[in-house]
Structure 1
């Protein structure tokens, strides 16, 4: 019997065809992602250290550097694009949908702060009398972060829309 805990994937391939990944499979995804990213960094002649971790049912890969060598690729839109390319590379190697998360030079912390500020502005609109506040469309990972931030502030949030148009609406509940 395999004693490795299973982690359930609730991404786009979930539902009636539930997909799960073991910690070992997630570690494999992290290794594949790190190899892919190392190749990209070499092509771009960018020095960076890669660290891998498994948290909350996802493989996390962080790219760090001592200087500002990552400045060019740590923009949130660039990180999102690199993450999607990395997910595709992992998926092509494993044959499984990947939800690997990429952080470049602290970009995840910066995005977390941006999301907290966005929620603060939305909550302020509700406190000024609006019944609800809609946020822009964002990735499932960012929506999850928003739901957590909103809940911590005592409000309610729900996601609406499909695909790239999926967004979060905040209300008092």
Structure 2
């Protein structure tokens, strides 16, 4: 006979209550596997390109996160101008994961902290647009064209400030517009 699953207080849980923990554990294992597959792919790439870097694997915000780290800052060519090479490497890493698992990956790749630094810049930029709209200086504020990662960061910052935002235009000229919250 199966022993019942217990909650944090040691009380028995129904199968319905226990299932999310099992599903969550399975999801975590799946995301960790995605990270491992991407890391193997990237290690081969680094070897072929004769570049030095350490690879860190994590799970953040419900997706696998892989970062290539270096102590000497010699990975600029893996970032490229405005992160274009990084975006391409992320797409290739996602394809490597999909080829192995058969499932689409939402893996996030960072190289030498580029995305972390860019996220901070974007939050500051979004803050300026938010201030313009909140102060009434403008009914809306349009930002420069951005890639999907950058637009997501801005949308999150705008939502946290209680305002609305939407993306307009077509890639690669797609941009975010910040607006006051809709009246209820």
TM-score (norm 1): 0.78
* Structure with the largest fraction of strand: 1
| Residue 100 (structure 2) aligns with | 93
Deviations 1:111-162 (A, max 9, x none): 1023123313423543462211223444443333212212333432233456
Task: Please provide the CA RMSD for this pair.
Answer: 2.5
- Choose between structure 1 and 2: higher helix proportion: 2
Residues 80-109 of structure 1: per-residue CA shift (max 9 Å, x gap): 111111111111111111110001000111
Which residue of 1 is the match for residue 73 of structure 2?
68
Do structure 1's residue 110 and structure 2's residue 117 form an aligned pair?
yes
Task: Decide which of 123, 136, 145 is 2:130's aligned counterpart.
Answer: 123
Q: Which residue does the alignment assign to 1:9?
A: none
Structure 1 match to 2:39: 34
1:145 corresponding residue in structure 2: 153
Listed as ranges, the gaps of 5+ residues in structure 2 are 1-18
After TM superposition, the structure 1 stretch with the greater mean CA deviation from structure 2, 143-152 or 30-39, is: 143-152
Please say if 1:169 is aligned against 2:177: yes
Counterpart of 1:48 (choices 53, 67, 70) is: 53
CA spacing shift, 1:138–1:96, aligned 2, 3 Å: farther
Is residue 131–residue 172 contact of structure 1 (8 Å, CA) maintained in 2? yes
Larger Rg: 2
- CA deviations over 1:64-88 (Å, ceiling 9, x no partner): 0111221222342221111111111
Deviating beyond 4 angstroms after TM superposition, the runs of 4 or more aligned structure 1 residues are 160-166
Secondary structure of 1:60's match? strand
Q: How many residues align?
A: 159
The alpha-carbon distance between structure 1 residues 161 and 128, as it changes in their structure 2 partners (threshold 3 A), is same
Q: Which residue of 1 aligns with 2:15?
A: none
Q: Is the 8 A contact 1:4 1:24 kept in 2?
A: no
